[in-house]
């Protein structure tokens, strides 16, 4: 998922869609890259990390945790995390797996060859 989180609802809607697919029995893998990696930050909150400053403030973080708890796999791009946004793998929500950007094409081809349904989203 390549989206700018917190400036609109697209990222959250995509996560809700992924949750719906998971609950319908699909194996779900979410790949976060570009600004989408910001959705997996485990260091959000106000006035302290993990605290919800207002209702819905951590909706994206909570939905990622729901997906992980219910069996989805979530990856976040190491390049975007470090080179673009300056946060470390240790800053990810527990359970989100960092990946090399070079793995994206390989994973898409592997899924395609396996007959997997892929829903790719971009926010420009």
Distance CA 21, CA 28 (A): 7
Q: What angle do CA 35, 20, 32 make, to 5 degrees?
A: 15
Which residue do the tokens 């390049």 mark? 79
Q: Would you state the pLDDT for residue 123? A: 65
Domains of the chain: 10-113 (3.40.1260.10)
pTM of the prediction?
0.89
Q: Which pLDDT tens digits describe the chain residue by residue (124 residues)?
A: 888 888 889 999 999 999 999 999 999 999 999 999 999 999 999 999 999 999 999 999 999 999 999 999 999 999 999 999 999 999 999 999 999 988 888 888 988 999 988 887 766 5
Distance CA 30, CA 54 (A): 26
Q: Would you state the pLDDT for residue 64? A: 98
Q: Would you state the pLDDT for residue 30? A: 94
Q: Would you state the pLDDT for residue 119? A: 80
Residue 76 pairs in a beta bridge with 32, 98
Q: Are 64 and 40 in contact (CB under 8 A)?
A: yes
How many CB atoms are closer than 10 A to CB 18?
A: 24
């Amino acid at each position: 998922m390549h989206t700018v989180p917190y400036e609109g609802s697209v990222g959250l809607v995509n996560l809700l869609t992924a949750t719906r697919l998971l609950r319908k029995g699909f194996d779900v893998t979410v790949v976060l890259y570009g600004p989408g990696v910001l959705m997996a930050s485990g260091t959000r909150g106000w006035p302290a990390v993990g605290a919800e400053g207002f209702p819905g403030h951590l909706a994206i973080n909570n939905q990622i945790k729901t997906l992980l708890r219910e069996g989805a796999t979530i990856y976040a791009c190491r390049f975007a995390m470090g080179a673009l946004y300056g946060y470390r793998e240790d800053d990810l929500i527990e359970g989100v797996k960092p990946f090399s950007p070079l793995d994206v094409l390989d994973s898409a081809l592997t899924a395609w060859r396996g007959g997997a349904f892929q829903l790719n989203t971009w926010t420009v």
